Amino acid sequence: MTDVKETKEVLVAAIKLIKTGSELAKDGIDLSDAVALGSKFISDEEFRTALVEGVKGADKIIAEIKDMDVLEAGQLLKAAADELTK
């Protein structure tokens, strides 16, 4: 059993990015959305840290998933639920 730290960080980063992107795209997608996303990355430290941490250990995710047990899967589900309810 390995830790699922890197997988959890990617999951949280993906959810943050999807939530932000869907909020920006409510009125359609255009160049201003890319600018707004860049501005959020620069100004929102929590968002920026989540995305950077999510990318850092991406090379370890396959090994973590291959060795994942039920407890670790539950940890990922909890992390996703926590992030989705923020």
Mean pLDDT of 57-82: 94
- The total domain count for the chain is 1
Mean pLDDT of 56-75: 94
1: pLDDT strictly greater than 70:
no
2: pLDDT strictly greater than 80:
no
**Quick one: pLDDT at residue 53?**
95
Domain with 63 in it: 5-84
* Residue type at position 33: D
- Contact between 9 and 22 under an 8 Å Cβ cutoff? The reply is no
Confidence tier at 71 by pLDDT (50, 70, 90): very high
- Cα–Cα distance between 75 and 81 in angstroms, integer? 10
pTM of the entire structure?
A: 0.88
Token pair, residue 1, equals 């059993």
- What is residue 1's DSSP assignment? -
**Average pLDDT of the chain to the nearest whole number:** 94
Confidence tier at 68 by pLDDT (50, 70, 90): very high
